Amino acid sequence: MVLLDTAAKAVYTLPPDKLAKAIHLYHARTLAHFGDTAWMILALWLLVRSGVGARIRDWAEKCSGRAWVQGLIVGPAWLLILSLLGLPVAVLMHRVNLEYGISVEGWGMWLGDIAKSLGLTLVFGTLMLGVLYALMRHSKRWWLWLWLLALPVEVLGVYAVPVFIDPLFDHFSPLAQADPALAGNLERVTERGGLSIPPSRMFVMDASQKFTAPNAYVTGFGASKRVVVWDTTIQHVPTDEILAVYGHEQGHYVLEHIQKGLEFSAAMMLVFFWIGYRAMGWMVRRYGDAWKIRAVGDWASLGLLLLVVTVLSFVAEPIGNAFSRWEEHAADVYGQEVIHGLVPDAQATTVRSFQRLGEMWLDDPSPNRFVVFWTYSHPPTASRLESAVHYDPWRNGESPKYLTK
Ligand SMILES: [Zn+2]
C-alpha cells in the first residue's frame, strides 16, 4: 500500500514487482483482444470465401425442406464454429490469468463454465437466428423488425440474467445472512443516498473459487435489479473501502445506468442493424454467385452474417466503451459523495480503494490512450484515482454534483 500523507499528492503507483506483472498482463490482454478480433475476421472471411456456408446449407436442405428445421442444423453448426475459433485465445488468457494469480479457477471448472456458455449460446443463438432468417425471408425491412423485436428481448434478457443465467455459473447468497454487520453498514449508505435498496436485493457471490481480487456490480432490471458484492471484497477490503466500492455501485443504481444503457444500446442497434442490412445486401449482390449464396435470407449467408457482425461489433466497441466510461465516472463521483460523512475522510478512502483494487487486479498505471479509447469500459485506475483526488466540493463550499443534501 502507498501511504498518503496528503490526498492531493496521491497518484496510482505499483511496487516494482507488481508493476512488471501489470505491464505484462496489460500487453497480454491487449494482444489477446485485438489478436482475437483479427483472427476471427480472417478465419470467417476464409470460411465464407471457400463456400463452407453453401455446403452446410446443402447438407441441411438434404435433411429437411423446411427452412426452420434447416436452421436447427445450420445455426448450431456456425455457432459451434464461432465458439471453436474463440477457444485458443480464451485458453491462452486463462493460462495468463492463472500465472499472474488473478484467477484461481482450475481447468476442470473453467471448461465446465465454457461448456455451459456454449450450451446457452447454442440454445438461444439458434432460436434468435431462426427468427432473424424468417424475417429476412419475409420482409425487405428485416433490420427494422429485428430492432423492434430486439428491444423487448434485451429488456427481458437483462431482467432474466441475474435470476436464471448467473446462478448457473456462480453461487449467490443474501448478504444480510452472509455478513449482517456489512449489510447494516451498507444500509447506512443507502439511507445517506435517500433510497431504500431492500436487503433482499443485496447478494454475496462466491467469487473466491475463481478469482483473487475484489469486485462488486449492479445487475438486473425492475424486480430483478440487485447489488452483488464478491466475497473476495469482504475478505480483502477494509469496511470503509467496501463502502466506497458499494457507493460507486449504488451510483449505477441511483443514476439509473442500467436503464440508460438499454436506451443507449437501442440507439446503437438501430444504426448498426441498418449498416449490417446494407452491408449484407451489398455483399450478397456482389459476391453471392461466387460464394453460392442465393439471397440474404438463404441459410448459406450465415457465415457472412457472423463476419459482418464481428466487424461491426469491433467498430461499435469504442462507442459503447466511451458511454460506459462516462457512466463509470459518474458512479465514481456519486460514490465519493454518498460516503462523505459516513467515513472519516471520503476522499482518502476512495483514493485508497482505487489503489487497493488496482494493485489486486494488477492494473497498468499508464495504459496506451488508444487502447483505453478502444477497449476500456472503465477509466484507467490512475485517472479514477486522480479524479477522486481532485473532487472535493465540500472543501471549497460548493455543492456536490449528485447528492445535494
Ligand atoms: Zn461501475
pLDDT of residue 195: 79
Distance 143 CA to ligand 1 centre (A): 32
Range of the domain at 190: 172-257+323-390
313: in domain: no
CA of 328 to the centre of ligand 1 (A): 5
Q: 248 C-alpha to center of ligand 1: Å?
A: 6
**56 and 98 both lie in a single domain:** yes
For 91, residues 6+ apart whose C-beta sits below 8 A from its C-beta are none
Pairing of strands 172-174, 226-230: unpaired
Confidence of residue 253 (pLDDT cuts 50, 70, 90): confident
216: CA distance to ligand 1 center in Å?
8
Q: Report how far ligand 1's centroid is from the alpha carbon of 10 (Å).
A: 22
How many angstroms separate the alpha carbon of residue 133 from the centre of ligand 1?
36
In a domain, 57, yes or no: yes
Q: Are residues 285 and 151 in the same domain?
A: yes
Q: Are residues 224 and 338 in the same domain?
A: yes
| Mean of the per-residue pLDDT values of the chain | 94
Q: Are residues 165 and 177 in the same domain?
A: no
With respect to residue 291, please indicate whether it lies within any of the assigned structural domains: yes
Q: Is the pLDDT of residue 178 over 50?
A: yes
Q: Which residues surround ligand 1, an ion (CB under 5 A)?
A: 328, 331
Q: Does one domain contain both 81 and 222?
A: no
Ligand 1: centre distance to CA 6 (Å): 26
Q: What tens digit of pLDDT does each residue of 352-371 get?
A: 999 999 999 999 999 999 99
Instruction: Judge if 219 and 330 occupy the same domain.
Output: yes
> Is residue 267 domain-resident?
no
Q: Is 228 helix (H, G, I), strand (E, B) or coil?
A: strand
Tell whether 286 and 338 lie within a shared domain. Answer: no
Residue 153 shares a structural domain with residue 181: no
Give the Å distance between the CA of 252 and the centre of ligand 1: 7
Do 117 and 231 belong together in one domain? no
Query: Ligand 1 centroid to 387 CA: how many Å?
Result: 15
Give tens-digit pLDDT for 269-289. Answer: 999 999 999 999 999 999 999
Answer whether 379's CB lies under 8 Å from 328's CB: yes
Under 8 Å between Cβ of 265 and 139: no
User: Considering the domain boundaries, does residue 265 fall inside one?
Assistant: no
Report how far ligand 1's centroid is from the alpha carbon of 381 (Å).
12
Residue 178 lies in a domain: yes
What band does 155 get if pLDDT is binned at 50, 70 and 90? Answer: very high
Q: pLDDT band for 4, please (50, 70, 90 cuts).
A: very low
CATH code of the domain in which 380 resides: 3.30.2010.10
- Looking at residue 405, what is its pLDDT? 66
- Over residues 33-43, the pLDDT tens digits come to 999 999 999 99
Distance from the alpha carbon of residue 123 to the mean position of ligand 1, in angstroms: 30
Quick one: 142 and 212 in the same domain?
Answer: no
Number of domains observed in the structure of the chain:
2
| Ligand 1 midpoint to CA 258 (Å) | 11
- Span from the CA of 401 to the centroid of ligand 1 (angstroms): 17
Q: What pLDDT does 9 receive?
A: 52
**129 lies in the same domain as 35:** yes
Pull the grid cell for residue 108: 476442470
In this predicted model, what pLDDT tens digit does every residue of 42-94 receive, in sequence order?
Answer: 999 999 999 999 999 999 999 999 999 999 999 999 999 999 999 999 999 99
pLDDT tens for each residue of 285-305: 999 999 999 999 999 999 999
Centroid of ligand 1 to alpha carbon of 403 (angstroms) = 18
Residues 52, 72 share a domain: yes
Cα–ligand 1 centroid distance for 214 (angstroms)? 13
**Residue 268 DSSP code:** H
Decide: pTM greater than 0.85.
Answer: yes
DSSP-derived pairing of the beta strands 202-205 and 226-230: parallel
Distance 337 CA to ligand 1 centre (A): 15
Could you tell me the distance, in angstroms and rounded to a whole number, from the CA of residue 304 to the centre of ligand 1? Answer: 35
Specify if 86 maps to a domain.
Answer: yes
Distance 260 CA to ligand 1 centre (A): 14
- 103 touches 65 (CB < 8 A): no
Phi and psi of 28, rounded to 5°?
-60, -45
- Residue 314 placed within a domain: no
Quote the pLDDT of residue 255: 93
Q: What is the pLDDT of residues 191-229, one digit of tens each?
A: 998 877 788 899 999 999 999 999 998 888 888 989 899
**Cα 132 from Cα 309, distance rounded (Å):** 13
